[in-house]
Structure 1
Amino acid sequence: MAAGGPAGGRGDGQGGLRAALSGLTTRGRSFLAAGVAAAVCAYALGQADLLRVGLLLAALPLICTLVVYRTRHQVTSSRGLSPARVPATTESRVRLRVDNVSRLPTGLLMLQDRVPYVLGPRPRFVLDRVQPGGRREVSYRVRSDLRGRYPLGPLQLRLTDPFGMCELTRSFTAYDTLTVVPRTEPLPPVRLSGEAAGYGDGRQRSLALAGEDDVIPRGYRHGDDLRRVHWRSTARYGELMVRREEQPQRARCTVLLDTRRTAYQGAGPDSAFEWAVSGAASTLVHMLERGYAVRLLTDTGSSVPGEGSDGFAGATQDSADSAGLMMDTLAVVGHSDGESLSPAYDVLRGGNEGLLVAFVGDLDKEQAAVAARMRQRSGAAVAFVLDSADWARGGVQDSAGPAAEQADDRLRRLREAGWTALAVKPGTALADLWRQAGQESTAGPVGGTTAGTGGWS
């Protein structure tokens, strides 16, 4: 919540008074001029009654200016967003509150909040007088079809007196930020072939380094293999104990987002790049909700700021915090100037990266070969490949043309390397492709290669 203090915009000495006098309206200037003229004429003609009328006319706008100028420093404002992070095309409510901390009532108040044009027109409100110690609250809604971070504010406050003699504008300095994250969609639970069944200690396991003498037993759980019963510990503790021969290891998932400028054509909410960003966001949320340690990786080799040394989020942080961190990153991600996926390939260390889900754009033969080698550094790999030219044409493509042959060739290269590669057509829902990827993975790899092991759900 942003707030503007009562001291903001205070003027000092003659400079402040000149600024206040500059706020006289046409009516106020007319009254002042008429009063001065009447006073001069009264002095010249010796008319005392006319002099009193002239002084009254001249004093009224000056008194109104003084009251408004003093009220200017006794009004505070605050702003609140609910929520401060919203998906694209979703509305957020902005609440403005104005407090009168002076001992005098205010005049007519006109509020105008500055918002980017993407969020809509600037909201304006007119408030009647606010009693001493009183407050007024107003609200408006903002909505954006484009992801990003948008500043709201500062608030502009126009004060006027009941007679309309003076009008002053005050700008507060505080502002808030609305974060518009990519749209996400719920994904169905699917399973890749080769996922470990386990005994319930974890999705993935590694053998314990301790021998029989150093075994650390635990209590028996329903479904444990009776061959794992440790009889010596059972006799010592008086209850059935089993050997902890395997150490639980949290399942990992790396979501790779291709942001190369050369890999995408077109722009806007319905472009191929925005679909890829939205797909990456949906995958991140889906995997975090199912207990995976997730890493967001781009073609430049950079990950989400603030992650652990292994680059995975969710293992030591709360899943909601991890999701918010990565969604904030995706809210402002843009095209990179790189032309290769090699930096991302170098980040993948090999063998222990778990599941790899990639959203890639156009791939030439060289980049398709780099992507194919990435498969060797993950347990299981799924690629959603977007043909940006097809998206730019709205899905109208010659199925027998060179572009179609090139698209089929890169899919074939990825599948031969062990990827579960799917072509993304314009307007296709990610949930349908997600389900299709699970079916193709269960049916077996294409091209006769072994897909390896790794699970997702």
Structure 2
Amino acid sequence: MSGAPAPAPDAGEEDRGGLRAALAGLTTRGRSFLAAGVAAAVCAYVLGQSDLLRVGLLLAALPLVCVAVLLRTRYRVAGSRRLSPARVPAASDSRVHLRVDNVSRLPTGLLMLQDRVPYVLGPRPRFVLDRVEPGGRREVSYRVRSDLRGRYPLGPLQLRLTDPFGMCELTRAFSSYDTLTVVPRVEPLPAIRLSGEASGYGDGRQRSLALAGDDDVIPRGYRHGDDLRRVHWRSTARYGELMVRREEQPQRTGCTVLLDTRRIAHQGAGPDSAFEWAVSGAASVAVHLLERGFSVRLLTDTGSSVPGPDGGGSGGDSSDVAGLLLDTLAVVEHSASSDLSRAYEVLRGGREGLLVAFLGGLDEEQTAVVARMRQRSGAAVAFVLNGAAWSREARGDGQEAFEERLRLLREAGWTALPVGPGESLPHLWRQADGQHTSPGTGASTSTGTGTGAQAGGAR
């Protein structure tokens, strides 16, 4: 909601507000000294004792002088925070470095630092610092750790100042804060060759020729460091400035990682739940394929994809794309969607080179939707979480229905692997290497050789 900005308070109002806050920060000792000084001054006036008046003025002036010095010092202390690193996997430690600088010409008194952190990261850290000399600085650090992924704000940093006599305590809260990103755990996966992978785009060897392809006929302006042998003289004469031929960017095999986030498809909560296993698996597969030169995008049941249509996942450094995917998976939550139709609509718009899906519980209708996704992809691998096993309610009829869903997916051409509690993703990833199903057959056959492009690099 917009509106007229409120007038800023003038310097006099800020000084009066700071003075009131400083007087309110008097400790019991400071209040006692001030009360004793006022009482001594009143008695000296009544009794006519000038020496007692001097003592009263001294007692009353001491806490007031401490207030004035501390009030000036409060705005001469700077604080900063640094995270190392700012993005960590779940169940890993990150160290927070705090720094306090005294930019005044006077030494500080006793300082107490307190940083605000969410309760899931651990207890609130507190530090006591002794006197900081003029122009000096102090650095302290503490560790934070979370078993749950997400983004957690750190701060603001609070600084409590105390004068050497203990007459006054003032608290200053800095406005800045930092964010710690806890991403899903990424497991290293073995290098495998997924059978049938090349069927999504044709002969994989044609794509590899792009690495040594012809130069793009569209020139660009000369940049410092460009090889002069790449100067395009015809364009240089046309535009009146030095132009060079652009090198063709190699085309990379596309891969889509589908993550089923439907709330009704996953049971349980916490770091050991089925949903967290699926999120960690999606992160592991995405990072693994990016390291192998794939163009990877993350797709959820809601139809949203990262990188988006403009990003494409094919441009830019793979480490930047990996960071974007991990940041997205760090905050992904359950969706209220009841089906996978929106994800299917996104997939039917193009031909995928490789499709890796992490699916929750499926009914007959959603199994049919997933089966149709296979028609638009080359190789398709599905990690299907067994909801009955994860909920510890394994029943005979439920297990039979689950096996029937797997059979239907395999008949549609999916490499469908069941996932139970405690399953190892690298072990399942190796199983995907040796399992291959063809549309219309439910039997699995070994595919030790193949001409498809590699999903995990050469063995």
What TM bracket, shorter-length normalisation? 0.7 to 0.9
Structure 2 residue aligned with 1:385: 384
Counterpart pick for 1:282 among 274, 281, 284: 284
The 1:11–1:132 alpha-carbon spacing in structure 2 relative to 1, beyond 3 Å, is: farther
Counterpart pick for 1:71 among 70, 73, 76: 73
Q: What is the CA distance between 1:392 and its match in structure 2?
A: 2.1
Larger displacement relative to structure 2 (115-124 or 48-57): 48-57
CA distance in 1, matches of 2:250, 2:128: 62
Counterpart secondary structure, 2:99:
strand
Q: Deviations over 1:427-454 (max 9, x none)?
A: 0110000001111139999526999966
Structure 2 residue aligned with 1:109: 111
- Where do residues 132-143 of structure 1 align in structure 2 (5 Å cutoff)? 132-143=134-145
Q: Deviations over 1:86-136 (max 9, x none)?
A: 000011010011111111001100000000001011100000111111111
Kindly provide the amino acid, as one letter, of the partner of residue 171 in structure 2: T
The 1:326–1:195 alpha-carbon spacing in structure 2 relative to 1, beyond 3 Å, is: closer
Does residue 410 of structure 2 align to residue 429 of structure 1? Answer: no
CA distance in 1, matches of 2:431, 2:439: 12
CA distance in 2, matches of 1:199, 1:256: 23
Q: What is the CA distance between 1:200 and its match in structure 2?
A: 5.9
Q: Deviations over 1:6-44 (max 9, x none)?
A: xxx997232221111000001100010011111111111
CA distance in 2, matches of 1:430, 1:449: 20
Q: What is the CA distance between 1:308 and its match in structure 2?
A: 4.4
Structure 1 residue aligned with 2:256: 254
CA distance in 1, matches of 2:283, 2:291: 12
CA distance in 2, matches of 1:289, 1:191: 14
The 1:303–1:449 alpha-carbon spacing in structure 2 relative to 1, beyond 3 Å, is: same
Does residue 379 of structure 2 align to residue 372 of structure 1? Answer: no
Structure 2 residue aligned with 1:397: 394
- Answer yes or no: is the 8 Å Cα contact 2:435–2:444 preserved in 1: no
The 1:454–1:346 alpha-carbon spacing in structure 2 relative to 1, beyond 3 Å, is: farther
Counterpart pick for 2:86 among 84, 87, 101: 84
- Answer yes or no: is the 8 Å Cα contact 2:161–2:170 preserved in 1: yes
Q: What is the CA distance between 1:194 and its match in structure 2?
A: 3.5
CA distance in 2, matches of 1:392, 1:176: 37
Kindly provide the amino acid, as one letter, of the partner of residue 390 in structure 1: A
Does residue 271 of structure 2 align to residue 269 of structure 1? Answer: yes
- Answer yes or no: is the 8 Å Cα contact 1:82–1:92 preserved in 2: yes
Structure 2 residue aligned with 1:242: none
- Answer yes or no: is the 8 Å Cα contact 1:300–1:343 preserved in 2: yes
Structure 2 residue aligned with 1:244: none
CA distance in 2, matches of 1:448, 1:408: 13
- Where do residues 268-347 of structure 1 align in structure 2 (5 Å cutoff)? 268-304=270-306, 307-309=308-310, 312-313=312-313, 315-347=314-346
CA distance in 1, matches of 2:127, 2:119: 18
Structure 1 residue aligned with 2:408: 413
The 1:322–1:293 alpha-carbon spacing in structure 2 relative to 1, beyond 3 Å, is: same
Q: What is the CA distance between 1:316 and its match in structure 2?
A: 0.9
- Answer yes or no: is the 8 Å Cα contact 2:193–2:453 preserved in 1: no
How many percent of aligned residue pairs carry the same amino acid? 72
Q: TM-score, normalised by structure 2?
A: 0.83
CA distance in 1, matches of 2:357, 2:68: 66
- Answer yes or no: is the 8 Å Cα contact 2:88–2:94 preserved in 1: yes
- Answer yes or no: is the 8 Å Cα contact 1:10–1:73 preserved in 2: no
Structure 1 residue aligned with 2:7: none
Kindly provide the amino acid, as one letter, of the partner of residue 360 in structure 2: G
- Answer yes or no: is the 8 Å Cα contact 1:380–1:455 preserved in 2: no
Structure 1 residue aligned with 2:244: none
The 1:165–1:255 alpha-carbon spacing in structure 2 relative to 1, beyond 3 Å, is: same
Structure 1 residue aligned with 2:157: 155
Does residue 172 of structure 2 align to residue 173 of structure 1? Answer: no
- Answer yes or no: is the 8 Å Cα contact 1:351–1:379 preserved in 2: no
- Where do residues 229-240 of structure 1 align in structure 2 (5 Å cutoff)? none
Q: What is the CA distance between 1:351 and its match in structure 2?
A: 6.3
Structure 1 residue aligned with 2:57: 55
Structure 2 residue aligned with 1:21: 23
CA distance in 2, matches of 1:158, 1:282: 44
CA distance in 1, matches of 2:440, 2:125: 56
CA distance in 1, matches of 2:339, 2:126: 49
The 1:95–1:330 alpha-carbon spacing in structure 2 relative to 1, beyond 3 Å, is: same
The 1:99–1:164 alpha-carbon spacing in structure 2 relative to 1, beyond 3 Å, is: same
- Answer yes or no: is the 8 Å Cα contact 1:355–1:454 preserved in 2: no
Q: Deviations over 1:148-198 (max 9, x none)?
A: 000000000000001100000111100000000000100001112245597
Counterpart secondary structure, 1:372:
helix
- Answer yes or no: is the 8 Å Cα contact 2:197–2:354 preserved in 1: no
Unaligned runs of 5+ in 2: 1-10, 214-248
Q: TM-score, normalised by structure 1?
A: 0.83
Aligned residues: 402
CA distance in 1, matches of 2:444, 2:187: 32
- Where do residues 175-190 of structure 1 align in structure 2 (5 Å cutoff)? 175-190=177-192
